[in-house]
Structure 1
Amino acid sequence: MLHMGDGSYKIDRIRAYALSCAVDGGPVSSLGLMPTRNGVLIEITDGDGVIGWGEAWCNYPPRSNVAKVNLLNDVIGPAVLNLSIKNWHEVRLELQRLFSRMMIHTGEPGAFKHCIAGIDMALADLSARRQSVPLSSFLAGHAVNKLDVPVYCSTPNVERLEELVPQFEASGHQCFKLKVGFGREIDSKNVSQFRKVAHEDTLMCCDANQKWSLPEAVEATDWLEEYDPLFIEEPILADANPNEWVSLSKASKVPLAAGENITSQEKFEEHINERSLNIVQPDIAKWGGVSGSFNVGRYALSKNTQCYLHYMGTALGQIASLHTLAAIGGGGRLELDANPNPLRTDLGDVDFSLKAGALLCPQTHGIGFVPDPSQIEKFTVAKCDMRANKV
């Protein structure tokens, strides 16, 4: 668990930006098509002028990015301004307590948790910058020795596997995640095609996006075993009765993974303790931010459960996830989106080139990435700017 303090400072300014761009060939899952790539970036400045950056999840619905900027401006941001920060990770817990009734009252706990996760990420970046160390070292409490983090190539278009898989393998990818949940005939055709075109040593995993009932999931994991997947992600509802997850874990011949839609430390620990998941996959922009994901990952490793990090957003959160997983350790994999997304590739100076299937964690201060102001302006569809009250 996180215990480090980072010296007292106050929050002076919060700016948030809703980013959006239309793309051809966005991710396709059993949930539907993602025709626009969105982002919510949060910029926090302390009283000494040090800046930290964070990101809040906003993939669905298409204009949720604008709604979250408004939520930050109208409700959450004012509660953060003027805060005196001693232990940065305690802010997330305090905000969760502060807005617990509001989450119930509005029926929007997800939106609040996404925004709070982004604030946590920004404070982690800011605090690491104040200490002039990389975020990974700041989280671990020491210099991280293993800086190469293995990744999995996420959701290449299953209609273009013959073209895309060799292309991505040539760029260094050694593990792929395919979307399933489109029906047995389509799914089996796709995974079979992948095995035909991929190198024999290339790993494959699958993501059903909560598509199946328990009996359907048992059947699917049975026939999927033939294709030797590394894991199957979210085969059933993330909030299904815990007994269903336990039953599936006992019946499944394929390792189970989930986490992007698990939204508390307690729920993660329940899965880990019950052995209902082989791999936990927290998402730093969706729940818990950097501090929550780090705590989950360290707890998982202490119980001999693997921790991967789920992620599908902009370059900022991608690199923050890289630092977080490097700090957690344990050799877990990081999700790296393979679909067109200018918010990942064109937001600033970033290098996502792979070496032996891994990304190298930056060793500049904080996250090690600052979005280009001109690119922020190019993609911004809504924004807000809040200042602390000066006494």
Structure 2
Amino acid sequence: MYVFPDSLPIHLAKVDALVYRAPIADPVQTSFGTMYDRPAVLVRAEDHEGMVGWGEIWCNFPNVGAEHRARMLESCIAPILLEQEWAHPTHAFEALSRRLEVLAIQCGEPGTIAQAIAGTDMALWDLAAKRLNQPLWKLFGGAPQVQTYASGLSPAQPEKLAAIKHREGYRSFKLKVGFGTERDIANLRALRELFGSGTVLMIDANQAWTPEAALEMSRRLAPFNPIWMEEPIRADHTLADWQSLAKASPIPIAAGENMRSTEEFSAAIASGVFAVIQPDLGKWGGFSGCLPVAQRAIDHGRMFCPHWLGGGVGLIASMQFKAIMGSSGYVEVDSNPNPLRDLFATPYLRPDNGTITLSDQPGLGITPDLDAARGFLVKHR
């Protein structure tokens, strides 16, 4: 079980957001939208001694959202962080959440503000661990090995990309579904035929179906033995709707990337609906909010698998998150081309038989190569 260190004082001198956009040849498809480039919003938090912590704000959708999230951080969050010294990253997280709560309601953007706070929390924890010269996984008493899966296999010949990822060392794979019954079945069949019965497969519908359609699809896809069906219905369905589906579905249910409070996660975990809990460090909570959620999920016998589909800083944070918590489960690694993942997450993209081993470098264990990414920078400090 993780334990928060007692005192980790942070006195910030500067907090910035850097926006990047990397062009891609083939758009990334989900059931609700398409990404035509790969964006990333990095948070750079510098203390008065010149030490820097890094975080990343989720910003995939809408396609114009990255710049807006950066402005939200610099106009609403940075001024609060610079007001005082913080005795602990969790104190800053709690203060930001409390002080911006009414603004989030007034402007109708609780998600955007939560995402900006979450990326900031990542950066503060990176900075705090660097000040102690410890990797985050070790600071919390974890172990450096994490299991991975290759995610985001698209509806267009997913078996070809899956074969490439297998050669790179991945041993578990998640298929995007929600593109029509026959296409989904054909794609899942192709993956099962490629890998055989022993390989772990998952499916992700990205909220594509009604409860009735989700139940029907779960029955149609169950013969291919996916270990979970992720977000088959809209995240804002009532728990009663989710419970009805989970009770009848032959495939276990996974969700969490669109949950946005301790209370929502607690209710979801207690309900027994979700076999797999998937908090996203860059959408809500950062380490301060998500570590207690993960512990609660594990204590209730749920599989804990952090969600991430963005740039390399958030990916490494997700790996650290999983390494801190241990237990069964996997870290999500997007299969689709993304220079902002590759530039920032090297050398953690080539697992050994599905396993990544994190280094002893302090904090997140990486320093983003800003010079290498300069061609993708669209907003300067």
State the TM bucket, normalised to the shorter chain. Answer: over 0.9
Q: CA deviation at 1:318?
A: 0.6
- Choose from 261, 264, 267 the match for 1:270: 267
Alignment of 1:117-266 (within 5 A): 117-138=118-139, 140=140, 142=141, 144-145=142-143, 147-266=144-263
- Choose from 327, 332, 336 the match for 1:330: 327
Task: Name the residue aligned to 1:387.
Answer: none
Task: Name the residue aligned to 2:112.
Answer: 111
Q: CA deviation at 1:349?
A: 4.6
Q: For the Cα contact (< 8 Å) 1:57–1:114, is it kept in 2?
A: yes
- Choose from 359, 363, 382 the match for 2:360: 363
Q: For the Cα contact (< 8 Å) 2:18–2:377, is it kept in 1?
A: yes
Higher alpha-carbon deviation: 178-187 or 163-172:
163-172
Letter in 1 for 2:117: I
Letter in 2 for 1:247: S
Q: Tell me, which stretches of 5 or more residues in structure 2 are unaligned? A: none
Q: CA deviation at 1:200?
A: 3.4
* TM-score, normalised relative to structure 2: 0.96
Q: CA deviation at 1:346?
A: 2.2
What do residues 116-154 of structure 1 show as CA deviations (whole Å, max 9, x unaligned)? 00110000000001111001122x2x3x33x22111101
Letter in 1 for 2:94: L
Q: For the Cα contact (< 8 Å) 1:38–1:59, is it kept in 2?
A: yes
Alignment of 1:239-388 (within 5 A): 239-347=236-344, 349-384=346-381
Q: For the Cα contact (< 8 Å) 1:113–1:287, is it kept in 2?
A: yes
The 2-side partners of 1:108 and 1:356 are apart by 41
* TM-score, normalised relative to structure 1: 0.94
Q: CA deviation at 1:85?
A: 1.2
Task: Name the residue aligned to 2:45.
Answer: 44
Task: Name the residue aligned to 2:85.
Answer: 84
Percent identical among aligned pairs is 33
Task: Name the residue aligned to 2:73.
Answer: 72
Task: Name the residue aligned to 1:388.
Answer: none
Q: Tell me, which stretches of 5 or more residues in structure 1 are unaligned? A: 385-391
The 1-side partners of 2:67 and 2:120 are apart by 16
Q: CA deviation at 1:213?
A: 1.2
The 1-side partners of 2:29 and 2:90 are apart by 35
Q: CA deviation at 1:222?
A: 1.4
Letter in 2 for 1:233: E
Letter in 1 for 2:104: M
Q: For the Cα contact (< 8 Å) 1:311–1:318, is it kept in 2?
A: yes
Q: CA deviation at 1:276?
A: 0.9
The 2-side partners of 1:167 and 1:51 are apart by 36
Task: Name the residue aligned to 2:60.
Answer: 59
- Partner of 1:279, secondary structure, is strand
Matched, 1:30 2:31: yes
Letter in 2 for 1:209: N
Q: CA deviation at 1:2?
A: 5.4
Higher alpha-carbon deviation: 45-54 or 345-354:
345-354
The 2-side partners of 1:368 and 1:278 are apart by 31
The 2-side partners of 1:199 and 1:251 are apart by 27
The 1-side partners of 2:192 and 2:203 are apart by 13
Gap change, CA 1:195 and 1:348, over 3 Å in 2: closer
Q: CA deviation at 1:166?
A: 2.2
Q: CA deviation at 1:348?
A: 6.8
- Partner of 1:41, secondary structure, is strand
The 2-side partners of 1:32 and 1:348 are apart by 25
- Partner of 2:372, secondary structure, is helix
The Cα RMSD (Å) is: 1.5
Q: CA deviation at 1:25?
A: 2.3
What do residues 19-62 of structure 1 show as CA deviations (whole Å, max 9, x unaligned)? 10110124211112211100000110112222110100000112
Q: For the Cα contact (< 8 Å) 2:178–2:206, is it kept in 1?
A: yes
Gap change, CA 1:71 and 1:383, over 3 Å in 2: farther
Gap change, CA 1:91 and 1:198, over 3 Å in 2: same
Q: CA deviation at 1:286?
A: 0.7
Number of aligned residue pairs: give it. 380
